[in-house]
Copies of this chain bind each other. A is one copy, B any other.
Amino acid sequence: MAEPRDVLILTERDLRELVHLDHAAINVVEKAFAALASGKVVMPPILSMAIPEAHGEVDVKTAFIPGFEGFAIKVSPGFFDNPKLGLPSLNGLMILFSARTGLVEALLMDNGYLTDIRTAAAGAVAAKHLAPQTVDTAAVFGTGVQARLQMKAAHLVRPFRKLIVWGRDRAKTEACAADLAAELGIEVVAEPDGEKAVAESQLVVTTTPAREPILKAEWLHPGLHITAMGSDSPEKNEIEPEALARADLYVADRASQCETLGELRTAIEAGLWGAGQPVELGDIVAGKVEGRMSEDAITMCDLTGTGAQDTAIATFALGVAKAGGKGSKVAL
């Protein structure tokens, strides 16, 4: 028997009280990206298991980041028949281990909440380092949770005056626009024409599970930054492959992941990617590579989601929980 010790358990309710989509969360995720560029982060390929009988899948991500006291292992099940049972499709948890001893420190039973936050925070990091300094109008493609969170995050680093929401479903698009107008206190319009949405904007974030491009290469214009965060599997594709070749700068969150899970995959398959190893977001955050070269450049960032972000947000959440005396301890 090991020596008795405590493990901290934080529920989704605890974590929603403790961790918010704010500058502190963005900073810790930015720090994780900078660490990725150091070459000293250990981030194994994602473990992925399909459970066809239940129309389910489960992904496991992890990363060790030097300088962070813990490392997280995140388990994300997605069971797509759950709504028929009155249950959410997505849930999951993170386990935080001491990076010094490998002992379990905390169980973050977040049902995906921390993933939502760290994903939106990565969008803010991309916008901070790649969007034009002045963004008057932003657009979001998609009307779900990430559409809302990405725009909230982007607005923290580029306080745009106007926001355009594009979606296929008119009612959902208008609901999302209304929510974001209330959240951000700015003008938000629902726009069924994607081309118009892009034409007006300096910053566009795509957040859909599209399997065929919803954003065309010919829509790209000088002074535009696009963050594509919807694709995270080999079937998804939001951006027309030609757009990657047409952009002045394409940036991957992690090149090895974007090649198989991101927008880069279809560009490679179409023979439209000739630039070799792409720049990674961490290289730009760390100052190793120049980001946006001018206000007129066209830039693009491909976010597939990294274990480094999970370790960052989990470590951050534990720190906040300890400081606030939150959570329940279980004696092992």
Contact = CB atoms under 8 A, between A and B. Distances in A.
A12 B1 contact: yes
A54 B109 contact: no
A53 B330 CA distance: 29
Nearest to A11: B332
Interface residues of A, number: 58
Contacts of A86: 3
Contact of A66 (B46, B53, B95, B107): B53
B1 A332 contact: no
Interface in A313-332: 328, 330-332
Nearest to A73: B75
Interface in A1-58: 1-3, 7, 9, 11-13, 16, 42-54, 56, 58
A272 interface: no
A104 B97 contact: no
A88 B66 CA distance: 23
Contacts of A71: 49, 51, 58
Contacts of A95: 75, 93, 95
B101 A58 contact: no
Given A42-B50, A42-B52, A60-B73, 20 more contacts: A1-B12, A2-B87, A9-B9, A9-B330, A11-B332, A46-B47, A47-B47, A53-B66, A54-B100, A54-B101, A56-B99, A75-B95, A77-B102, A92-B104, A93-B95, A95-B95, A104-B109, A109-B330, A109-B332, A111-B332
